[in-house]
Structures are given as structure tokens and as C-alpha cells.
Amino acid sequence: MMAEKRQELNEHVLNELKPDFKGLKDTSFEKKFKNYLSSRESTLEKRILRAAHYLATNWEFKIIYSTAPFIYGIEKTREKIENQIEDHYDLIGVQKIMLEKKSFGFVDLCGQLRFQKRWAHSPRIPETSVMGHMLIVAATSYLCTMEMGVKACDKRIYNNFFAGLFHDLPEVMTKDIISPVKRSVSELEDIIKEYEDYQMKEGVLPLLPKTWHDEMLYFTGYEFENKIKDEGSVKFISFTELNKKYNKNEFSPLDGELLKACDQLAAFAEVKISIRHGITSKDFEKAQKGMIDYWKSQKVSGNDFGQIFRSLEKLIEE
């Protein structure tokens, strides 16, 4: 389809997204989005994305193949996927993952979050995986970082996105523990956090290069706190301090409070969409009211989350 109708398909996508672009103060985002779609240049970044696409497809395909190897044409499909991966074999990441050792183990571990459901004790429609939730939080965090009214340094944008993308990664080891249980017993949240840190160090980090360990712990430890790195140590600071003194790549700033707000916004959307589909419960009603009451007058990292929550509620109800 893209080979034959690339321009028409891209124009269709851009037309569908026009109302969404209008809601952004950062007008450069629309321009960058258009440039990305229209560019035919085969950059390293695009090759990495294509390779990641085929590797993920291969991971999914193996699940199907192991359960139904008799499906007509399945061998031809496998050959096509393997050929696409071979075309990207010059990338070191592809080589490491295809060895099916440590790097593959990390990818496989992350892939398990595709099968862990959010709100596991409260049936919902549509169901949301932990992996899907993490991606939504990462994308929302990125957009809110661009909209905060202060030009964020490159490392801050990077940190806010990847902290959102990995913020629930420890759940692959601990599984989902619902918030009411965490808050029901004094100091239980601290015990769970300590256990998550232990499992990250023992079960996840050994699968990654040692040079990545500190960064991954930075993303997943105290993820909802504003923080920086100064002289090798992590320091927790206010949003004002972050903007005035530490909005520089050398301090590796991270807006944890913004991440928490985006996490809650994603949870709110999950609840509202389920209720909109006619599937509700006392837990959903309580969660919906609690979140809208708490965030209705909150501003986080220069973003008016009260307005964002109200707009999202109105959009879903329409």
C-alpha cells in the first residue's frame, strides 16, 4: 500500500490529525510530523524502526507458530519475516537480539507486559495491557514536556519520554498490585517499592549492558519525583528549581511529577472509556470521582491538568 499510494495515505493521516495538532501550543510538532511522513530518506533512525518492527513481528509470529504450525502459508510468512530481518543484520542490535541470549531475554521480558492486564480485578472494555499503558504515558509525557512553557533541554525530553515508557517495568517481575491494596496497610507501598528495586537489580538489569544500568534505575526508581543528577548522585528538586538552575543536559533533569500526572490521566481515560462502553463498577466510579476531584485544580510542570482532565472527560462522553 505504501509503495503504491504513499502520498495519498500520508495525506489521509495528516487530515485526520489536524484537529489534534490545533490543540498544541508547540506548532513545530506538526511541522516535524509532516516532514517525517513526507521524507523518503532512508536514515539510520528509520532503519532501526523498521528493524524493530520486524523483530517484534517475529516475536509475535513465534507465539502463533508454536500453537498452529499447520496453518496454510505459514512457512512462507516465516520466510518473509526472516528475510526482512536479514536485510537489517548490519545493525548490532539486530545481531544481539537474534542470538537469543541476554538482549533477547530483556525484549522477551518486556513483551510479557503485553499479556498483563490493567485493572485485573475489575473487568473492562476495551482491555488495556500494561505495555499499552506505558506507551500512552510516554507519548503524553513527551507532549506535555513540549507544552510546559519552558524550552526543555534535549536530555529532559529524552528522560521524560523513556521514564514514561519504562515506569511500570518492575511489574513484569512483581505483577500488578492494585492501588487500594498498596494503600491499605501502613508502609506497604515502601515494602513493595523495595521489592521492586530488588527484582530490577536481580532479574532485569543482568539482561542489559552494564553501561545502561544506572539509567534504567533512574527511570524506574522514585519515578514520580522531580530529580536531577549532580556530581554522580540523584537529587530531588522542585519544578521551579529544575527550570531555573538545572534545565541543562549535564544535570539529566526528569519531571517525575509530570510523569505521575500523565500516569493518572491515562488511568482516567481507561476508566472513562470503559464506563462509556457500559462496563462499570463501584471501583471505577470511585476512581473516576477521586481523580477528577484531585486534578481539577492542579497545574503540573506548566500544564493545566485540570483543563486536560475536563477536556478528556468531555471528549470521551461525546
* DSSP three-state, residue 300: strand
**Do residues 269 and 203 share a domain?**
yes
Mean pLDDT of the chain: 89
**Do residues 88 and 204 share a domain?**
no
Cis check: omega of the bond before 69, within 30 degrees of 0: no
pTM: 0.88
**Do residues 179 and 270 share a domain?**
yes
pLDDT, one tens digit per residue, over 157-201 is 999 999 999 999 988 877 666 565 555 666 777 787 788 888 888
Position 59 in a domain = yes
pLDDT at 253: 97
pLDDT, one tens digit per residue, over 259-294 is 999 999 999 999 988 888 888 888 888 888 889 889
**Do residues 87 and 233 share a domain?**
no
Position 31 in a domain = no
Position 206 in a domain = yes
- Number of structural domains (the chain) is 2
| Strand-strand pairing, 299-300 and 303-304 | antiparallel
**Which grid coordinates belong to 204?**
532485569
Separation between Cα atoms, residue 38 and residue 123, nearest integer Å: 41
Report the DSSP beta bridge partners of residue 224: none
pLDDT, one tens digit per residue, over 205-258 is 999 999 999 999 999 988 999 999 998 899 999 999 999 999 999 999 999 999
Domain extent at residue 48: 42-99
pLDDT at 184: 61
- Choose the final residue of a domain: 79, 99, 119: 99
Note the helical H segments in 185-304.
188-199, 210-220, 239-245, 256-276, 282-295
Residue 60 to residues 166, 280, 304: CA-CA distances in angstroms? 20, 32, 39
CATH code assigned at 210: 1.10.3210.10
pLDDT at 55: 95
Task: Determine the distance from the C-alpha atom of residue 266 to the mean position of all C-alpha atoms in its chain, rounded to a whole number.
Answer: 11
pLDDT at 177: 60
Position 308 in a domain = yes
Residue owning grid cell 549532580: 230
Q: Find out whether 81 and 58 touch, Cβ atoms under 8 Å.
A: yes
